[in-house]
Structure 1
Amino acid sequence: MDIEEALETAGSWGRFQKFMLLMSFVAGIPNAFASIHFVFSQYEPHHHCSYPEEFANYSTNRNGSTQQIVSTIIPLELNDKNEWVASRCKIYDRNYSKYPVKLWPQYFKSDNSSATTNCNDGVTWNSPSTENTAVMDFSMICENDWKAPVAVSLYQFGKMLGALSGLSGDWYGRRSMFSISSVMQVVFQAICALSWNYTVYCISNVGVGLFSLTNFILCFVLVNEVTGVRWRSVIGISSFFGYNFGYCCLALFAYAFQRWRIFVGVMSAAGALLYFPCCWFCPESPRWLAQQGRSDDAIRCLRRIAKQNNREKQFVEALRNANNHVTCKGNVSSTGVVETTRVLFKSGIAARFCAIAYGWLITSSVYYAFTIYSTDFSTDRFLNCLFGGLAETPAYLAVFPLMNYLGRPRTALLLMTLCGISGIVLPFIPAGLPSTSTFFAILGKASVSAVWYVWCSMSCEIVPTLHRSAALSICSAAARIGSFSTPYLMYTRKYNYFAPNVAMGIGTILSGILGITYVPETLGVSIPDTPQEARQNKRFFGCNIFKSFPKTTSQAGSRIPATEEERETIIQ
């Protein structure tokens, strides 16, 4: 009996798949904690160079305003919006002890022509005593402001390593590697909370990035492999809803725990509580077991599915008619690095795979730009995070019917175009139109959030089973290149405020065009088990986005015939 038929007989949508939907939702929550915590743990409170000791003593005995005197100490500078503001990292280089404090305005000019120097006597933080961030603990400011983007980039580097380690899911199984990566993510988050210096902080973030992406990929692949064609979109998007729920909860946790070590520690504990039942009850993929030639193990998993779906009697009867054997159509190939490279880049699916990988890259870059660096939702960072998470909810609700009506490539084109236009327009909106900025920020954030799921679905649906985790891993590695570059790209706003938005906007629209051109439509098509089946899908839109395709699957969910013999049998 073929694995696709076995899954349909055991039940492609029943109590088991509903449990997997819940597991996917729960497992997605801690991934948001790992990805978005930088918004709060690396928040930079307002600060300035510490005032001279003479002024500190003087100001404590004065009830009136001392702003005129302060202007002789702190110079003005242009910010990235071309506005004059008090400098955070410079102080006038003057001999303040030469004159009494009250005479400083008379003898010292408040202009930018005077020499300045760095904060040699340290900085003063203008923040509540209950607030503490990693930026404050590890001095990620002024001449050390490179430390903050480096920490984020190292986290993204860890995610890139995690993407590549997702290959292990094709070698050692989905369940075992999901469990190991979940435990290690929690451990490294705890180390992050206990970091005693900047080096340990960076290393722990690499570990968190590595294992958080590994378990996310494997969970997404697993739930797709145990679900029938009709319900694949529903169960696959559940992990994104879980991520979105964690995103919104993160703002509430950050508001409750404003000392970053406690905040990250609470995230680690919450992750442990959520991952434990997922690891304990998570099954292995019967599709992966069958492709590995482990027919008996696959049958045990399928019987478990059938029992939970109240279809054990039908499954046992069908299995008896198939001589108690479950197989996969086509030849079972190896899963080594060389074979995976050959299948993805030399077996006729290279163009479609590269188009999807580029979509991942640009989507990741834009997503993190909206998530970490945008303040267009609210000037309050807690509300900004909450509204950013809430903006994703209707996006995920809308993308499901869009994918089922327009298909995968057309939905990607629509969402990437909306996101690209929003990103380009945002920096050109005048400061006096906050509601307009909020509208385009929400539109862009919602579009880029929704298209994540489209790219993930297409990645799973064009690649054969034994290379599916590897494909998602390589695409995720491409995405990390995008997110790795985001901090530095946004850093260029200091020199040209509009350049990052325009560059990312153009790249985003281009990715949608590449997707519609090179990626075939997979709506209603069973996920392929072999390279032959993957190549068989030729349903390309090209320049005609209004093209329609005949249905290629039956109600039972049989796949596109992979060989000439199969097609001749069906015709006869």
Structure 2
Amino acid sequence: QWNLVCDNDWKGPLSTSLFFVGVLFGSFISGQLSDKFGRKNVLFATLAMQTGFSFIQVFSTSWEMFSVFFVLVGMGQISNYVAAFVLGTEILGKSIRVLFCTLGVCIFYAFGYMLLPLFAYFIRDWRMLLLALTLPGLLCVPLWWVIPESPRWLISQGRFQEAEDIIRKAAKTNGITAPDVILDPNELQDLNSQKQQTYTILDLMKTRNILTITIMSVILWMIISVGYFGLSLDTPNLHGDVYVNCFLSAVIEVPAYIISWLLLRNLPRRYSMAAALFLGGCVLLFIQLVPSHIRALSILLVMLGKFGITSAFSMVYVYTAELYPTVVRNMGVGASSMASRLGSILSPYFVYLGAYDRFLPYILMGSLTVLSGILTLFLPESYGMPLPDTIEQMLVVKGLEYRPASSSTRDSKEEEENPEIFKSTAF
């Protein structure tokens, strides 16, 4: 199509890079839009954006037209993914939250991944394949009347009555009798009397603690993304049928998500993520020791490495969302996701290094993955802790002597000894 061969063969991989560029921009703006206009509004607006521009792509008349819309599709895709993830994180309870973030989101992503080689095998025309992958987006339209807005976000915006209505409706649906007073009127009066503060991306650097967490999250997400997409893009280089290898690469994600769910449900976040990263990194480093004639073992180790990195990828979403407070949670996850997209843009170049040395991509990805596992051990532990609502309520990085900038030492000490959890968010 469009003579993308010989002198124009560079346009093929560039199209994929442009998609990830769109994902990068979407990661940057989705958090701020969602924190300003609401999780639900941004979720469905960007879902419509992804579906609409993907449908227009089917009728592209040139490579340039296709690539421009591919950037817009990437922006919509990551924006609705992050918005949906944060919405589920804020509206669900502790146990269900972990189930949603692992099995609820990720395992259905794996099912879609498994269907991709199946669709591609039977639908060889790219226009019909793209149309078949686009139309299911219309099935999400009725969900507008089912999915509520995040009560946490409504409370942070001072829209207390709407939040209480949603909580009462949820209680009625679950057959639970809601108390007469859900949101304390005296507390609401105090909060209403205060000027609503507007938060920006700069608030992710407001204190030394949140800045340290942001930097560590950015590095962690970028390295995990390099490993995940690097191994995924390396699938065609494995021996055997490309469709079967792609299917196997998707299948291995299912047990990875199940294991990550079990780890998040029963064990501390830091140790669970570090163990998954150490497993994935060490296995990738071990590949260079496998004799060249034992190809099956090499493929097995690659899949095992992806198992570990995929598990970490699943857990890092939950972990990051729990570390950031409600007022900047979507921006925090969005900034981390933006770093992840930088990793996805770099990942094809890691795979390309295989042209110089067969084991070099695995050595680099394995080393970085092990280092990220060590970095994880310095993050604060959020397992069993309530979600923070303000920057001052955030957990402190290990080894960091943190002093809040907006209060006296005595007041901050009292807050640490008696942390205040708003009644308005305890649901």
Matched, 1:368 2:229: yes
Q: Which moved more, 1:450-459 or 1:211-220?
A: 450-459
Paired residue type of 1:171: K
1:134-157 per-residue CA deviation (whole Å, 9 max, x = no partner) reads xxx133444333222211111111
Rounded to whole Å, the distance in 1 between the matches of 2:349 and 2:58 is: 25
Partner of residue 240 from structure 1, selected from 106, 109, 116: 106
Aligned to 1:435: 296
The structure with more helix, counted as a fraction of residues: 2
Aligned to 2:408: none
Aligned to 1:494: 355
1:232-257 per-residue CA deviation (whole Å, 9 max, x = no partner) reads 21122211111111111112211221
Aligned to 1:319: 182
Paired residue type of 1:526: P
What is the deviation of 1:421? 2.1
Of structures 1 and 2, the larger Rg is shown by 1
Partner of residue 17 from structure 2, selected from 128, 135, 153: 153
1:348 counterpart SS class? helix
Determine if contact 2:158/2:196 at 8 Å carries over to the other structure.
Answer: no
Determine if contact 1:170/1:469 at 8 Å carries over to the other structure.
Answer: yes
What is the deviation of 1:378? 5.8
What is the deviation of 1:309? 1.3
Aligned to 1:359: 220
Determine if contact 2:276/2:309 at 8 Å carries over to the other structure.
Answer: yes
Partner of residue 29 from structure 2, selected from 162, 165, 169: 165
Aligned to 2:57: 192
Rounded to whole Å, the distance in 1 between the matches of 2:265 and 2:195 is: 31
2:178 counterpart SS class? helix
Partner of residue 254 from structure 2, selected from 389, 393, 405: 393
Matched, 1:270 2:136: yes
What is the deviation of 1:367? 1.1
Determine if contact 2:271/2:377 at 8 Å carries over to the other structure.
Answer: yes
Alignment of 1:53-64 (within 5 A): none
Matched, 1:454 2:320: no
Determine if contact 1:229/1:525 at 8 Å carries over to the other structure.
Answer: no
What is the deviation of 1:432? 1.8
Rounded to whole Å, the distance in 2 between the matches of 1:276 and 1:225 is: 22
What is the deviation of 1:481? 0.7
Determine if contact 1:461/1:522 at 8 Å carries over to the other structure.
Answer: yes
1:314 counterpart SS class? coil
What is the deviation of 1:368? 1.1
Determine if contact 1:174/1:218 at 8 Å carries over to the other structure.
Answer: yes
Aligned to 1:214: 79
Determine if contact 1:162/1:211 at 8 Å carries over to the other structure.
Answer: yes
Partner of residue 163 from structure 2, selected from 282, 298, 305: 298
1:338-396 per-residue CA deviation (whole Å, 9 max, x = no partner) reads xx423445352222221121111111111111112224776222211211111011111
Determine if contact 1:193/1:264 at 8 Å carries over to the other structure.
Answer: yes
Rounded to whole Å, the distance in 1 between the matches of 2:391 and 2:186 is: 27
Structure 2: runs of 5 or more not aligned = 401-410, 421-427
Determine if contact 1:456/1:472 at 8 Å carries over to the other structure.
Answer: yes
Aligned to 1:532: 392
What is the deviation of 1:160? 0.5
2:388 counterpart SS class? coil
Determine if contact 1:412/1:515 at 8 Å carries over to the other structure.
Answer: yes
2:149 counterpart SS class? coil
Matched, 1:521 2:384: no
Aligned to 1:564: 414
Change (3 A) 1:502 1:204: same
What is the deviation of 1:399? 1.0
Rounded to whole Å, the distance in 1 between the matches of 2:148 and 2:248 is: 35
Rounded to whole Å, the distance in 2 between the matches of 1:505 and 1:203 is: 34
What is the deviation of 1:276? 1.8
Change (3 A) 1:290 1:425: same
Determine if contact 1:295/1:327 at 8 Å carries over to the other structure.
Answer: no
Determine if contact 1:156/1:206 at 8 Å carries over to the other structure.
Answer: yes
What is the deviation of 1:498? 2.7
Partner of residue 120 from structure 2, selected from 249, 254, 266: 254
What is the deviation of 1:230? 3.4
1:65-86 per-residue CA deviation (whole Å, 9 max, x = no partner) reads xxxxxxxxxxxxxxxxxxxxxx
What is the deviation of 1:333? 6.2
Paired residue type of 1:319: I
Alignment of 1:13-412 (within 5 A): 137-166=1-30, 167-237=32-102, 238-273=104-139, 275-311=140-176, 313-315=177-179, 317-319=180-182, 334-337=197-200, 340-344=201-205, 346-375=207-236, 379-412=240-273
1:283 counterpart SS class? coil
Rounded to whole Å, the distance in 2 between the matches of 1:522 and 1:327 is: 29
What is the deviation of 1:495? 2.7
What is the deviation of 1:332? 7.9
Paired residue type of 1:299: E
Determine if contact 2:327/2:389 at 8 Å carries over to the other structure.
Answer: yes
Paired residue type of 2:3: S
What is the deviation of 1:279? 3.3
Query: TM-score, with normalisation over the residues of structure 2?
Result: 0.88
Change (3 A) 1:361 1:324: closer
Rounded to whole Å, the distance in 2 between the matches of 1:428 and 1:375 is: 21
1:202-231 per-residue CA deviation (whole Å, 9 max, x = no partner) reads 112111110000000010100110122233
Paired residue type of 1:154: L
Rounded to whole Å, the distance in 1 between the matches of 2:419 and 2:133 is: 56
Paired residue type of 1:522: S
2:182 counterpart SS class? helix
Determine if contact 1:152/1:487 at 8 Å carries over to the other structure.
Answer: no
Q: Percent identity?
A: 28
Matched, 1:419 2:283: no
Rounded to whole Å, the distance in 2 between the matches of 1:454 and 1:562 is: 31
2:358 counterpart SS class? coil
Paired residue type of 1:262: M
Rounded to whole Å, the distance in 2 between the matches of 1:516 and 1:301 is: 38
Query: TM-score, with normalisation over the residues of structure 1?
Result: 0.66
Aligned to 2:423: none
Rounded to whole Å, the distance in 1 between the matches of 2:320 and 2:59 is: 37
Rounded to whole Å, the distance in 2 between the matches of 1:505 and 1:205 is: 31
2:28 counterpart SS class? helix
Rounded to whole Å, the distance in 1 between the matches of 2:35 and 2:74 is: 20
Paired residue type of 2:391: P
